[in-house]
Structure 1
Amino acid sequence: MVTATVTLSLCQWPSPLPSLRQSHLSASLTHSHLSASPKDQTIFQINNSGVIACLRANSAELAFEAANAAIAGGISVLEIVVSTPGVFEVLQQLAKEHPTIALGVGTVLGIGDAKRAFNAGAKFMMSPAIIKDIMDYVQSDEILYIPGAMTPTEMLSAYEAGAKIVKAWVESVLCGADAM
């Protein structure tokens, strides 16, 4: 008997996200998706989705099936965690079959995985912390990097390093979401 495990978690926010640059970004993307960079298009898609689905599976086949089910259910932004077996092959196949979906790789900890994610067709990648090598690698407008941060200092450091979106680890020990 084979045990299969799939975990699908959702990160939600009120859509669209409030942003000082949102009106400029929305206006430029509304007028022409062709003139916006791939990174800006991904930001726009994430902003308007209201959710990033995070997928973790214990096999490539299961990840592919679960991703297709999530997409069929209306998910337009999907992150597959790098520890999922065959993550880059799954991502490459999904990118071919669903070119309008914002597909990303999560828990990217090194430049090697960042390059593999980009080459497989990821539109974004996420890390649990600010990883300088990855931040330097993604300075082009081709792929969005979303580093994680817990403290206000880490969030500011990510922003100052060029992050357009930061994954906030808001924990109750730091006063919770209300403090943010």
Structure 2
Amino acid sequence: MSLPRGVVAVVRTGSAEHALTIGRALSGTRVAAVEVTFTVPDAVGVIARLVGEGAGNVGAGTVRTVGQVRECAQAGGGFVVSPHTDAAVVREAVDLGLVAVPGALTPSEMVAAIGLGAHAAKVFPVGAVGGVEYVRSVREPLPDVPLVVSGGITPEQVPAYLAAGAVAVCLGKVLWREEDVAAGDVEAVRRYASAVLDVADPAGR
């Protein structure tokens, strides 16, 4: 599994069924990956269902334990994303052949994460620490460190983050309307997400 490049859809809902609706819809769009967070009820089951239905690059988010890494791998997920850097979590993911993207904020944390074997560092929460300018500033001395950005990002800001050097940008609930999800309308969710992606990533990375 390769590192997602472009827009990563972060699915964080209070219902497994809602997560399935969103995941099914988004897997038919130009998103680079669908990240189902472990805060979703039965997240592992959702990942397994999506993978079993032929969804593309699906993985787990909010991964905080080695056990969760193993569950993601067993479900067929291809990557794990964390809000922090935990050496054991990163190493387990790498050992199991998963793409590991731990959370990091400072340059020291980013370099340390890559040193553990991570494929990229997730700059979180990027919107609270300077946004695009922060990414651009960090990329100057660390051009070889792949960065995934997350936290407080609007679709309109995505092109600027990509231009600043981020390899991927995480977007969440801005990709869907709650009423469409509640109705289980996969096609409506897909249409809405596609329109948002036309704004967020017009180049279709």
TM-score by length of 1: 0.69
Q: What does residue 62 of structure 1 align with?
A: 18
* AA of the residue aligned to 2:87: K
Give the Å deviation of 1:171.
4.7
SS at match of 2:10: strand
**From 108, 115, 119, the counterpart of 1:164:** 119
SS at match of 1:125: strand
**From 93, 106, 123, the counterpart of 1:138:** 93
1:56-109 Cα offsets, whole Å, 9 max, x none, are: 11111111011111122333411011000011011101001125x110100101
Q: What does residue 176 of structure 1 align with?
A: 134
Partner Cα separation in structure 1 for residue 28 and residue 90 of structure 2: 32
1:113-164 Cα offsets, whole Å, 9 max, x none, are: 1111111111000001111111221233621111010000000101111111
TM-score by length of 2: 0.61
1:113 aligns with 2:73: no
- For the 8 Å contact 2:80–2:93, the answer to whether it is kept is no
* AA of the residue aligned to 2:21: E
* AA of the residue aligned to 1:74: R
Q: What does residue 2 of structure 2 align with?
A: 42
Q: What does residue 44 of structure 2 align with?
A: 88
Return closer, same or farther for 1:66/1:171 CA change in 2, 3 Å cut-off: closer
- Percent of paired sites with the same residue: 27
CA RMSD of aligned residues (A): 1.8
- Higher RCO, 1 vs 2 (CA within 8 Å, ≥6 residues apart): 2
SS at match of 2:94: coil
Q: What does residue 141 of structure 2 align with?
A: none
Partner Cα separation in structure 1 for residue 64 and residue 52 of structure 2: 25
1:98 aligns with 2:54: yes
**In the comparison of the two structures, how many residue pairs are matched?**
135
* AA of the residue aligned to 1:69: A
Partner Cα separation in structure 1 for residue 19 and residue 127 of structure 2: 28
Q: What does residue 79 of structure 2 align with?
A: 124
* AA of the residue aligned to 1:162: G
- For the 8 Å contact 1:109–1:127, the answer to whether it is kept is yes
SS at match of 1:72: coil
Q: For structure 2, which runs of at least 5 residues remain unmatched after alignment?
A: 139-205
Return closer, same or farther for 1:173/1:145 CA change in 2, 3 Å cut-off: closer
SS at match of 2:34: strand
